[in-house]
Structure 1
Amino acid sequence: MATSKLGLNDFCKSEEEEIVQSVFNNIIRDCNGILPAFLNLVIDCSNAKSGKSFSDAHVDLKLGCECREAYSLDYIKGCPECGCVYTKDILALDIMKEFLKDGVDAIEKYPTATSRSFLSLFEFLRDKRKHEEAIQKLAKDTRINGSKETQIMVGFAHHLFSQLIPGKKYEVNEYAKQLPDKCGCGCMATISKGDTSVGSERTWHGRFDIILNNTIAVTLGNGETKDSDNEDDECHDTNLEPARKQRKVETESTCDICDEVRANNKHDSVLLESKVVEQIIAEAITNGFAQVNRNENTLSHFLIPTIAATVDHVCICLYDPLYDCLLLAEEWMKLWIPQKDILDHKTIVVVWLFLNFTVFTETKMAAKHNLDISGLHAQLQNHLVYYREVETRKQFNSPVVPWSFAKSYKASVCE
């Protein structure tokens, strides 16, 4: 693959530099929900021992059980609580603060991996309009031959996620329906396809839609939303939302994280849609183990990201297989600015930070901040050994097709 002709110095005092500084400032100062917090999830039970495919994964969260019980008791004992971690507390903030102060010049003293990550973001932002138009054409143009879902998968792989990592290395599921050899947006780029499978017959398993840099999994859904037929249904009681527990990471006194989450009648929290969450969690856990098994020296202390996306939204799940710590963004981030067909800079930069997680995220989060463990290790017991042996690029008899997870991500907690 050809190397970029641009260097970091080409972005000094540039519009791209200003965009990144603005988003960094919002991240560092975030005390009012500008970015979604990450829920510190505990698993009540699952079928992780059963060797099920991702689409058949069952994960019952402790929070979900507590919400159902609280609802049945009419909240006599109050709302359940869930620990939360701010996005900024997961990230390595030193470089962000220095970039705010000195811009591109601040990057020079950091390792090559850091400068290459920044360069990939700057290049994407400079060419953003080209990539926006490509994704929109693949999502909306009915004249494009083949599976629309597959075309969108290709668009996201080639024109979004891979553009945000050095080397732009990706593979899409080679078993995808009507997978083209060339990108259908008109750029005629060759599509990189391959074996995106992970897991084993004794663990959760399946094929991701996209694998980035042989490490980060991306799974796609069609983004349809499901609203209740009855706005006044008691399942949509605004008291159904759990309260956020006092964070275990110390914050400024101005951050009122202990307040109860204010919910609307549509319950936008991704946590409340069971099948979506179950599949994302199963994928994040299985890929987390596979990546640490493959590269223990480099990745064993990180929260490994898994990305879930629709045409309009993106969500991030993080799992540390060493400490058994599971975090899920409390809501989906919007990819596009409404009515403008422009990618949201804030969302793009946040996704970029997690795609380059070995550069921009903290290690040993669970141990440093005494976060709750998910409990999966204890539940697996002797079966844990199979997850500690799990690999990528494993063949299965029943391929998991793209866009296999649930169609909706909006539902009430009592579903």
Structure 2
Amino acid sequence: MATGKRRFEDSLTGATSTACKKCHDNDDDEIFTSFPVKLIRQIAKHLETLCCESDYVFKTLKILNCNGADYNGGIPFAKAYCSVTPGTRTLYFGSVFVHGIKMLTAFLKNRQVPTDLPRKRLLRKLLFFLSDEGTHLLLKDLEKFHETELMMVLANHLYGKLTSSSKYMIDKNSTKETDHCPCNSESCRLSGQFADTGIGNEEVWHGNLDIIVDNDMVGLSYPSGNKEEILGGNEAKIRHVDLSRNQQIISQTIVFSFLQKQRHPDSNNFLFPCIGAAHEGMVVYFYDSQKDILLESSFIPFMSVEGKVNVHAILASWFAVNYKYLSSGIPCSKSHDDKSAFLSHVKEKLGIYEHNLKFGNLGVPVSFEDDESDLEVEQSDFLSETRWELLELGSMPDGHSEQYCLLDKEM
């Protein structure tokens, strides 16, 4: 497999890359006939590893406890608490992308091109991306970017390049608005725009996603809870961010799934993703708000052990950001308890998740004040008597409180 990866990366240079760039510039379908057989064979190997082997899987997660329905009010994503444990089911990565695997395999085997325009466009995007060395080599040098810069670069040079639309939204509160990509290329401009990326409801989990890819289809997040910047000289080193079982991303994934179901009730399935990304790689989370199933993928590094761009990361990104066309939903199970138990943990506020989530225009978090008229407190004779004594002391004239003043002086 290592040799195959090396040959594949080597084949991306030279005449092949130049020819495919020319195809891309012409913006026609020549890529489907001119795509080299050598690359087809190598992609087939990587696709088999990503989708059909145990190196990359989805695991179900079960929620033990969470603050998604906190009585005291809504919780921002950065402070979300969600204790989880592995569920009983493990799926191959390709299990939820059957439609996409069939489409890509048909092309790799017989150069069969989808007849409908959206899927045809997605396939063309993937082939151009894999064929153009300059398009994805930027993934080799992600460590130099700070948090916000990283998300913008990934959206502009990876996720946005693989979707049917290159448009995306950047959290307008994250950084100063600009049309220039942080990749340091003077001619590179952002294909996305700064906007309100807030999702949720002030009474439950809520907050802003770093990036929303393809306008409203996929959430992209760099979790804030486990990172720390260390300033030294002119550089800032960022410690490793743990994407596995990340509470912030889990809460964002669940809210995003409920929101998407609310906005797209006619979807074929309700398995919606949120991608957690860091400098080293990515994790894909899925939540199905109808079946109450939460999935977490294996960690997918952006670089291979040979120091090459990891093609598995490119393929996984293509599947995830285009889930609308490539996902087949969660395969049926007769013997496993797949449910995450989120619905039972938030049953008192489930109606908010199902019907009252917002996309943008989130206000100040709501906190619920106690209604003293309905509040029942256990009576205590001791506290009742002491309370009146304290009230009397508090209202006593200054002359009668001299002894207490002396006590204060002694203390």
How far apart, in 2, do the equivalents of 1:391 and 1:222 lie? 22
- Equivalent pair of 1:198/1:207 in contact (CA under 8 Å): yes
Matched, 1:286 2:255: yes
CA displacement 1:312-337 (0-9 Å, x = unmatched): 210010001111111111x3111013
Local SS of the residue matching 1:326: strand
Tell me the alpha carbon deviations over residues 168-197 of structure 1, each in whole angstroms, 9 at most, x when there is no partner.
111111111334331132233145211111
SS at match of 2:165: helix
Match of 2:30 in 1: 9
Which secondary structure state, in structure 2, belongs to the residue aligned with residue 41 of structure 1?
Answer: strand
Q: Which structure has more RCO (C-alpha within 8 Å, separation ≥ 6)?
A: 1
Give CA deviations for 1:326-374 in whole Å, capped at 9, x if unaligned. 1111x3111013463x421111101211111122221353568855111
Matched, 1:108 2:108: no
Rate the CA distance shift 1:12–1:208 in 2: closer, same or farther, 3 A: same
Alignment CA distance shift 1:59-1:29 (3 Å): closer
Gap regions ≥5 residues in structure 1: 64-80, 142-147, 227-267, 399-415
Q: Distance in 2 between matches of 1:224 and 1:322?
A: 30
2:189 partner letter = A
* Conserved? CA contact 2:40–2:108, under 8 Å: no
Cα deviation for residue 200 of structure 1 reads 0.6
Runs of 4+ aligned residues of structure 1 deviating over 6 Å after TM superposition are 222-226
Name the SS of the counterpart of 1:362 in structure 2. coil
Per the alignment, do residues 385 and 119 of structure 1 end up closer, same or farther by CA in structure 2, a change over 3 Å counting? same
Unaligned segments of structure 2, at least 5 residues: 1-23, 229-240, 366-411
What is the TM-score normalised by the length of structure 2? Answer: 0.70
In the alignment, is the contact (CA less than 8 A) between 2:218 and 2:274 conserved in 1? yes
Contact 1:150–1:177, Cα closer than 8 Å, also in 2: yes
The reply on whether 1:83 has 2:99 as its aligned counterpart is: no
Residues 108 and 177 from structure 1, CA distance in 2 versus in 1: closer, same or farther, beyond 3 angstroms?
A: closer
Match of 1:57 in 2: 80
Write the distance in 1 (CA, Å) between the matches of 2:363 and 2:274: 21
Question: Are the aligned partners of 1:120 and 1:164 in contact in 2 as well (CA < 8 Å)?
Answer: yes
2:210 maps to what in 1?
Answer: 209
In structure 2, the CA distance between the partners of 1:225 and 1:344, relative to structure 1 (3 Å rule), is farther
Please give the secondary structure, in 2, of the residue aligned with 1:182. coil
Equivalent of residue 132 in structure 1, options 132, 137, 141: 137
Counterpart residue number, 2:360: 393
SS at match of 1:107: coil
AA partner of residue 208 (structure 1): L
Deviation at 1:6, TM superposition (A): 2.5
Residue pairs, 1:328-343, within 5 angstroms: 328-329=296-297, 331-338=298-305, 340=307, 342-343=308-309
Cα displacement (A) at 1:298: 2.1
Alpha-carbon distance in 1 for matches of 2:313, 2:294: 21
SS of 1:125's partner is helix
Deviations 1:117-157 (A, max 9, x none): 11111222233424433x5667527xxxxxx3322222111
1:90-105 paired onto structure 2 within 5 Å:
90-92=96-98, 93-102=101-110, 105=111
Aligned equivalents of 1:107, 1:40: Cα separation in 2? 34
CA contact (8 A) 1:150 1:178 kept: no
Q: Percent identity?
A: 21
**Residue 88 of structure 2 contacts residue 338 of structure 2 at CA under 8 Å; is this kept in 1?**
no
1:153 pairs, out of 143, 151, 154, with 151
SS at structure 2 position matched to 1:159: helix
Does the CA contact (< 8 Å) of 2:77 and 2:206 recur in 1?
yes
Alpha-carbon displacement from aligned partner over 1:365-404 (angstroms, at most 9, x marks no partner): 3568855111111222231110012122232448xxxxxx
**Deviation per CA, 1:38-93, whole angstroms, max 9, x where unpaired?**
11111111101122011111111244xxxxxxxxxxxxxxxxx7321111222214
Give the match's secondary structure for 2:346: helix
Could you tell me how far apart the structure 1 residues matched to 2:204 and 2:331 are? 25
Given that 1:150 and 1:179 are in contact with CA atoms closer than 8 Å, whether structure 2 keeps it comes out as no
Instruction: Find the aligned partners of 1:223 and 1:107 in 2 and give their Cα distance.
Output: 44
Q: Distance in 2 between matches of 1:108 and 1:181?
A: 34
For residues 25 and 334 of structure 2, the distance between their equivalents in structure 1, rounded to whole angstroms, comes to 38
Does the 8 Å CA contact 1:149/1:222 hold for their aligned counterparts? no
CA shift digits 1:237-295 (9 cap, x unpaired): xxxxxxxxxxxxxxxxxxxxxxxxxxxxxxx9954xxxx61111101000001111111
Q: After superposition, where does 1:209-288 map in structure 2 within 5 Å?
A: 209-213=210-214, 214-221=216-223, 271=244, 277-288=246-257
Instruction: Please show how residues 19-58 of structure 1 align to structure 2 within 5 Å.
Output: 19-27=42-50, 29-30=52-53, 33-35=54-56, 37-50=57-70, 51-58=74-81
Residues 1:206 and 1:344: Cα distance change in structure 2 (over 3 Å): same
Partner residue in 2 for 1:121: 126
Equivalent-residue separation in structure 1 for 2:289 and 2:140 (angstroms): 36
Does structure 1 conserve the Cα–Cα contact (< 8 Å) formed by 2:96 and 2:330?
no
Using the alignment, how far apart are the partners of 2:51 and 2:302 within structure 1? 21
d(CA) in 2 for partners of 1:223 and 1:140?
A: 20
2:322 paired with 1:318: no
Q: 1:97 to 1:150 in 2, by over 3 A?
A: closer
1:203–1:43 CA distance, 2 compared to 1 (3 A): same
Given that 2:202 and 2:362 are in contact with CA atoms closer than 8 Å, whether structure 1 keeps it comes out as no
Q: Cα distance, 1:221 vs. partner?
A: 4.7
